[in-house]
Structure 1
């Protein structure tokens, strides 16, 4: 009898442990590449490069062959984070505040944090800099990277660590990965589940990559080319391939650590990109690249792995997208998903597990500003109303809209209904103010990217994201932000500037709704422009400099909306300064 009780207790313990194991929340690791096309991985058939670590995920997990994201960076990130079409979230562009989703959007990080996860993001955020859009305000305990749409230099650049600027260490993708690995190890030591988001910034330009990777491609004979090979830019293409191989190496670093820590089977890993390729290169004969709503502009590689829990080597051909990842991951992890707003995505778990016997023929909508395209399992209706049978014509060469008027009309009506749903009051045209002190935030960053220059002041690049202002030579010139003070109080204003010796002495004023603070440029700081020496291809982004902080003084700000204005009152030299960033630190 005693032996039977002992045996019964042992069975209970064992089954209890199995039950606990089965109900233990898995860790999550999300890799998001930047500007890597569907064809920029070797498992999709590109022999120009080798991506063994991403390919290993495909062998060990489930691969989606028709996975759709945004045409450009910020929209994809918004869709992934919220489970909603980016057009519904207020995200309309990639810079000047258009990359922000609305303040009341609920993110995947907030859902996992509420479930007890440690949450960390390491890389390019691109969904807002100020609270409530900063990563630390949207569910991430730990953040290391940059919040802008692109960065001007990839070797030891200035980065944001939980709202404070620090200097990076080495090549940015390697550095971001190292910080993520440290975060993962810390959570394992504390026996806490983690949600780790690695939104890399490569192979987005500037085309900078360590010699080790560039040397593989500098003189390599490339066998696979774009459908219009004369459009290829050779040095840009080679740099992109080299950057993709570096991304793959960093994916491998994380996978190796998961294995070494013994948590490989307890961790869901997924990999995708944010839009089509950022240049003309082989992409499976698809039409379009980054910025296009054709197949090549919005189709991304996607794979998800969870050893022992989901099938290995399975392929899914039904359409799916970034909007589906929030419901899919929360479903797989078995955590509750609060939904302050309805989401557009659906859980892909049935497709992943091979249990979707009656999966509906979905429509996935792709948009960029007012342009909209829609994809079903068989067809794509282009933004121009052209209809393509993607099963027979994946290169979109034959318009069937006249031959199949019923299908065309059905999809056109679907697009019209979708537009009414996401823009019930018409397409948003009014710019939203940048928020200061939102929710009691102690620090608010206001970069030149978000500002408007007046007079003779010039921007260092037509791409605002990592730019600065120069040619500030007149007291008639000004720099302004449309701003809203959410939390009244006294703020210390800090400017990031450069200034040659012959420009020292200018008096600068910051004003907002009648409140002002004045300060004088007392020290020269004239570092050189950097970045060009590391570029593998000609850039369109701004070069960067080592901008220095200067405390302007304290200003008392009252609640309200207005124009935050920076101007010079006196200019004894040739210029005021080159300006990169304003930070407002709340002091009471």
Structure 2
């Protein structure tokens, strides 16, 4: 692990170590009466699907394969560490003035969880909350993620907020909480959803689209050639999903779904609403026009050197890699 700019040796499961290190740092901030922002990113659940034995046993005992037990065991381990974080926040009296957010970066993966229509173990069917698509797709199941937020004594707990929101809305929301009234023009997208958290509003205006593009194409190919495939446009009511490719025999029009009535995307109603699709595609054209010039890395060749490995080798030769000492919590 890299800690404060230097490599250290660690023992244990990576997610446990990440949370322990973060908790030690948070404790320091608490003792110094300093405000803090902690961003704890786990690489779990991700391949290779290896979890602590105590977490995989529950699933292997029920017939899950080692790979699937590793996937779900990783999720259980994250849950345990979030619980550890919340308990320490309560113990250190930080829960009243600290906003806690839990979220993910993409939808369900098919690598460890199985596939639609499969049983992941006897009596345990594949589960994706009824959504279509998996990680890497522009479907709802590929991009919809949990977003749980807690601020004790400030926001009413136990509520589900249905209004469509995205990652770009987090900064404006936090800024409003902090009393920042003006954000840099043309640099910050999104809108504050603080009125939804406080309960002052039940919903926000349905006056924007959220765009998703898979963003993967062969190296050194022209991005504009991939503009019309593997993307989706979302509003509160509608989801338009573009074709995956130009191959013959595939749906060339794309698909349109009423997400209020058909959240599982079972009924393609694109033929019934041509005006809706036309309006959404026009907005997408503007989105692509604005974002395409920012794709500056497309023409940059991948470096053959691996800086992380070089740093590790240099430290190994010049002083070595010390053992990390876990903080006392």
Paired residue for 2:72, among 241, 252, 262? 241
- Given that residues 372 and 415 in structure 1 are in contact (C-alpha distance below 8 angstroms), is that contact kept between their aligned partners in structure 2? no
Alpha-carbon shift at residue 550 of structure 1 (Å): 5.0
Question: How far apart, CA to CA, are the structure 1 residues paired with 2:202 and 2:86?
Answer: 32
Alpha-carbon shift at residue 165 of structure 1 (Å): 1.5
Q: State which structure, 1 or 2, has the greater radius of gyration over its C-alpha atoms.
A: 1
- Which protein has the bigger helix share? 2
Q: TM-score, normalized by length of structure 2?
A: 0.77
Alpha-carbon shift at residue 237 of structure 1 (Å): 2.6
Answering whether residue 327 of structure 2 is matched by residue 496 of structure 1, we say no
Paired residue for 1:182, among 12, 19, 24? 24
What's 2:241 paired with? 382
Answering whether residue 138 of structure 2 is matched by residue 293 of structure 1, we say yes
Secondary structure at the residue paired with 1:270? strand
Q: CA RMSD in A?
A: 2.6
With CA pairs under 8 Å and 6+ residues apart, which has the higher RCO, 1 or 2? 1
Q: TM-score, normalized by length of structure 1?
A: 0.44
Seen in structure 2, the aligned counterparts of structure 1 residues 169 and 339 have a Cα distance that, compared at 3 Å, is farther
Q: Which runs of 5+ in 2 are unaligned?
A: 115-125, 216-226, 244-253, 319-329
Matches within 5 A, 1:186-265: 186-220=28-62, 234-265=65-96
- Given that residues 50 and 67 in structure 2 are in contact (C-alpha distance below 8 angstroms), is that contact kept between their aligned partners in structure 1? no
Alpha-carbon shift at residue 400 of structure 1 (Å): 1.1
What's 2:218 paired with? none
Seen in structure 2, the aligned counterparts of structure 1 residues 212 and 377 have a Cα distance that, compared at 3 Å, is same
Answering whether residue 265 of structure 2 is matched by residue 396 of structure 1, we say yes
Alpha-carbon shift at residue 168 of structure 1 (Å): 2.2
- Given that residues 494 and 550 in structure 1 are in contact (C-alpha distance below 8 angstroms), is that contact kept between their aligned partners in structure 2? no
Question: How far apart, CA to CA, are the structure 1 residues paired with 2:144 and 2:312?
Answer: 41
Seen in structure 2, the aligned counterparts of structure 1 residues 402 and 494 have a Cα distance that, compared at 3 Å, is closer
Q: How far does the alpha carbon of each residue in 1:250-300 deviate from its partner, in whole angstroms, 9 at most, with x for none?
A: 001110011011121111001011101222341112111111110000000
What's 2:277 paired with? 408
Alpha-carbon shift at residue 494 of structure 1 (Å): 6.4
- Which protein has the bigger strand share? 1
Alpha-carbon shift at residue 235 of structure 1 (Å): 3.5
Secondary structure at the residue paired with 1:267? coil
Seen in structure 2, the aligned counterparts of structure 1 residues 300 and 333 have a Cα distance that, compared at 3 Å, is same
What's 1:333 paired with? 178
Question: How far apart, CA to CA, are the structure 2 residues paired with 1:172 and 1:368?
Answer: 29
Secondary structure at the residue paired with 1:243? helix
Seen in structure 2, the aligned counterparts of structure 1 residues 208 and 266 have a Cα distance that, compared at 3 Å, is same
Q: For this pair of structures, how many residues does the alignment match?
A: 279
Question: How far apart, CA to CA, are the structure 1 residues paired with 2:109 and 2:147?
Answer: 18
What's 1:274 paired with? 105
Q: How far does the alpha carbon of each residue in 1:17-45 deviate from its partner, in whole angstroms, 9 at most, with x for none?
A: xxxxxxxxxxxxxxxxxxxxxxxxxxxxx
Question: How far apart, CA to CA, are the structure 2 residues paired with 1:318 and 1:405?
Answer: 25
Paired residue for 1:368, among 214, 228, 238? 214
Matches within 5 A, 1:72-87: none
Question: How far apart, CA to CA, are the structure 2 residues paired with 1:432 and 1:332?
Answer: 42
